Structure 1
Amino acid sequence: MGHAATLPRNEEGIATVVGILKQQFGERLQTGHSIREQHGHTTTWIENQLPDAVVFAQSTQEVSDIVKACAAHKVPVIAYGTGTSLEGHVNAPAGGISVDLSQMDQVLEVNAGDLDCRVQPGVTREALNTHLRDQGLFFPIDPGATASLGGMTATRASGTNAVRYGTMKDNVLSLEAVMPDGAVIRTASRARKSSAGYDLTRLMVGSEGTLGMITEITLRLQGIPEAISAARCSFPSVEVASKTVMAVIQYGLPVARIELMDAQLVKAVNAYSKLSLPETPLLLLEFHGSEAGVAEQAETFGMLAEEEGGTGYEATATLEERNKLWQARHDAYWAMIQACPGRKGIATDVCVPISRFAEAVTAAEAKATEMNLFAPIVGHAGDGNFHASIMIDMEDADEVARAGAFVSWLNELAISMDGTCTGEHGIGQGKRPYLIKELGAGTVGIMGAIKSAIDPDNIMNPGKILPE
């Protein structure tokens, strides 16, 4: 198990703040063990560190009141969305107050003519897209999990559509946030561009709750494409599949999604979903645009794939057939769980320049085999991001140690290729040891100076991102 460092507790301050907030929030402040455990970290192998209380906030003013109380008594305060983050982001290493934002779940405004909207942080991406559907609009960032938009913004999430639509940093126009003293700020207007001062929006996106607590987000939207086409193709090796991805990107083919699954994962999906795919590496693609455009894109990909040695190419534009083609990807997580009953999945998320993608994925496959680890690979291949999902027996100390060594090796490999230790999951607690290696002590020192200036008492999600 990943052991997260504990931090000194302010027992007197915590007790005082819990008493203050109990008076204001009544039953919306909970101190039961099970709910505190739920609001510590539960989705990875990092140990759970419980907050002392959970408060369910319903407005920006309430969040401000909570933060002011915590600031007055120097008590940690941690934002909580849906708990789907993967690097210990919502743990409470010094105890404190978890602010559950799930009840702040309103779509406040949709400006269809400007292709933007304003939402509260507890709105999930699925709920937003349901709300937008009858207006012919959608929000494209899809991290896979049922994540809240506040959490996605805080961790700078991305996902399968990033190759065409970018990540959260490209799709957030403005934020409202409660700062460590309880003050409420708005970082920008709805204008599509601005040269007005420091870009505080980008500073807050990806700050993982360490600089402030996001209470509203203004998001860029997209029109639902006229047509969508999906394609699937098998390859003799991960290296050949990865080289095909590089050819697609260099050709300039405007793919919306391009996902890689290695042979181990395809085999697991065949068993789970009763499919009969060739048990070799697989690429899954999606194209968005006009009917003629997506047909041409699918045809062009087919030619590129064939040139690289791809076989079994299929493409379709009908919804039912698209869903069948993508079933392998949608079932990947459950297929891995079925293949390894009783084991826990540890998802890595390195990202490398696209020219190094084939080399990195091939090396990761070989290293996992060498270390006797079952670590199927799935990649958001279009932007060089991939996950080796290690399935481990948490009761087997040797296997846990090998998994830890593999994760460390993979992070170091990505950094050595001028890549990153985290393409989309964030730093949190789990990736902190690699931040200086990736960015350098000087850059991380500037981050520390910003954190100290904005949050001198270190109450906003302490123990995350920055090294001790």
Structure 2
Amino acid sequence: MGVEAIWPELVALLGDRVTRAEAERGAHGGSESYFEPMLPDAVAYPATTEEVSALVKLCAGAGVPVIGWGAGTSLEGQAQAPSGGVTVDFRHMNRVLSISQGDLTARVQPGITREELNEELRATGLFFPVDPGANASVGGMAGTRASGTTAVRYGTMRDNVMALEVVLADGRVIRTGSQARKSAAGYDLTGLFVGSEGTLGLITELTLRLHGQPEAVTAAVCGFDTIRDAVQAVTETIQMGIPMARIEFVDHATVEVFNAQSGAGMAEMPHLMVEFHGSPSAVEEQARSFGEIAADHGGHGFVWAADAQERRALWTLRHNAYWAIVAARPGTRAVVTDICVPISRLAEAVEATQADLEAKGIRGPILGHVGDGNFHVILQFDPSSPTELEEVKAASHRMVDLALRLGGTVTGEHGIGIGKLGFMDREHGDGWAVMAAIKQAMDPGRILNPGKIVP
């Protein structure tokens, strides 16, 4: 059976909030990356957990796939529909349900974006710190275990999701975790769903950990003659226990794009972009200590941005890097990939990746979250050339080989989806079979986001 068999029931449940219109299906069949469109058979827009539960029960009974959809910013095809089915778009479930200032928590629906959430929190003196760059939905961020520029200080989604409400493959609704700061009560089901990419259940509510807005913030950029110098400065800063809020790396190719697209005026060499949070005196001391370490490793051309507008401009550069890089070579697309290695091997990994790309003549600006050993490469190709696509995919595969050889992981934050499914066995071995067994136990009909994470 397919969607056609349950269409009358879907319409009775959701009315005009379920559609088979070509435009809506097309808008939910693509991704930010290089994958060809894979359209669902229908798109649903539920407004309540009860509607999600009823929808999943209908789909389970007919063997129809169900794919969750947040903001559609995933980079490994996590929200595409290779087997058709119903895409569940959570845009109407986008409210803040409650805020507990005393507990530093918020209960939210999955469709709210991180920027919308922080706008709601602004008057409370609190904020939600996870910042993957894109204005992603928090449900999608939980599904992919997102992190980003602030993870070095505040952690990833794994560290900032305390509890969930989840609709399972048979339509049951469960709650995991609590508002308590710790628990020893059984399996960590919250951790199981965070990073599961919608293959085990649909998240319909999240309890998030919040943080106090820092009293003082300062940021800076500084240049280095070599990648190794920049990365070694980061490593020493971390070893010294200096609490950075952000520390990002961009290579010379990325800086060239910044200058061309935004008139950044940065010296065309590798740069670090850093930010410190705390009291005025603590921030001043942290910045001074970092400046000394950076100078010891050849850092120069410091530009400090204590003004909020200057800081926003600095991080807007970093967050818009992907689009700026693609725009710098009109008509291209990109395989956007990431790996994560132990920090002690980071310089080696970045240098080896850069050397490989130069040897193969592939344009691939490098940038990343050097504070936790995670970096990204934007591998550009001409979509009209199958040869170029295969060359950049091969380069991405060599990055995976490198990460595993250095004791790292095939992805630090982009996730598995379709794009990196073929590498799971190499990283996890028999552990991948355990993941498959969990999937089979929780979703025996294989309706939840099929074709992702597990074989």
TM superposition score normalised by structure 1: 0.95
Paired residue for 1:356, among 334, 341, 345? 345
* In structure 2, C-alpha distance between the alignment counterparts of 1:221 and 1:343, rounded to whole Å: 39
Aligned to 2:38: 49
Output the CA distance in 2 between the equivalents of 1:70 and 1:327.
Answer: 41
Q: 1:72 aligns with which of 49, 57, 61?
A: 61
Q: Percent identity?
A: 51
Distance 1:390 1:26 in 2: 43
Aligned pairs for 1:61-460 (under 5 A) are 61-326=50-315, 328-440=317-429, 442-460=430-448
Distance 1:357 1:164 in 2: 18
How far 1:316 moved relative to its partner? 3.5
Name the aligned partner's letter for residue 185 of structure 1.
I
My pick for the range that moved more, 336-345 or 113-122, is 336-345
Please give the secondary structure, in 1, of the residue aligned with 2:166: strand
For structure 1, the residue ranges without an aligned partner over 5 or more in a row are 1-11
Q: Distance in 2 between matches of 1:464 and 1:39?
A: 16
CA gap 1:365/1:226 in 2 versus in 1, 3 angstroms: same
What CA distance in whole angstroms lies between the structure 2 residues aligned with 1:77 and 1:58?
16
The change in CA–CA distance for 1:95 and 1:320 in structure 2 (over 3 A counts) is closer
Q: 1:271, 1:335 within 8 Å by CA — same for their partners in 2? A: no
Moved more, 326-335 or 153-162: 326-335
Aligned-pair CA distance for 1:335 = 2.7
Q: For 2:433, give the aligned amino acid.
A: G
Q: Is the 8 A contact 1:210 1:464 kept in 2?
A: yes
Deviation at 1:317, TM superposition (A): 2.1
Q: Who is 1:6 aligned against?
A: none
Kindly state the Cα deviation for residue 46 of structure 1 after the two structures are TM-superposed: 1.4
Q: Which TM-score applies when normalising by structure 2? A: 0.98
Report if aligned partners of 1:29, 1:55 keep a CA contact under 8 Å in 2: yes
Partner SS state of residue 436, structure 1: helix
Q: In 2, Cα distance between the equivalents of 1:267 and 1:444?
A: 41
Structure 1 residue 409: deviation in Å? 0.7
For each residue in 1:92-133, what CA deviation from the matched residue of structure 2 results, as whole angstroms up to 9, or x when unmatched? 121111111110011000000100000000010000000000
The answer to whether the 8 A contact 1:152-1:168 is kept is: yes
> One-letter code of the match for 2:152?
V
Task: Specify the code of the residue in structure 2 equivalent to 1:408.
Answer: H
Distance 1:392 1:367 in 2: 16
Q: Is the 8 A contact 2:339 2:399 kept in 1?
A: yes
TM-aligned CA distance change 1:333 to 1:70, over 3 Å: same
Q: 2:230 is aligned with what amino acid?
A: A
CA contact (8 A) 1:76 1:459 kept: yes
Question: Residues 59 and 310 (structure 1 numbering): CA distance in 2 closer, same or farther, change over 3 Å?
Answer: same
Q: Aligned residue for 1:8? A: none
The answer as to whether partners of 1:272 and 1:334 remain within 8 angstroms in 2 is no
2-side partners of 1:279 and 1:334: how far apart?
19
Aligned structure 1 segments of 4 or more residues deviating by more than 3 angstroms? 323-328
2:399 and 2:262 map into 1 onto residues whose CA distance is: 30
Aligned length: 455
Deviations 1:128-171 (A, max 9, x none): 00000001000000011111000000110000000000000000
Q: Indicate which of 32, 35, 40 corresponds to 2:29.
A: 40
- Alpha-carbon separation, structure 2, partners of 1:321 and 1:452: 51
Give the counterpart letter for 1:13 in structure 2: G
Letter of the 1:206 counterpart = G
Deviations 1:264-321 (A, max 9, x none): 1111111111122110000000000000000111100100000011111232422133
SS of the residue aligned with 1:349? strand
Instruction: Please report how far the alpha carbon of residue 324 of structure 1 lies from its aligned counterpart in structure 2 after TM superposition.
Output: 4.6
SS in 2 for 1:264: helix
Counterparts in 2 of 1:331 and 1:85: CA distance versus 1, 3 Å? closer
State how far apart, in whole Å, the 2-side matches of 1:129 and 1:141 are. Answer: 11
Paired residue type of 2:308: L
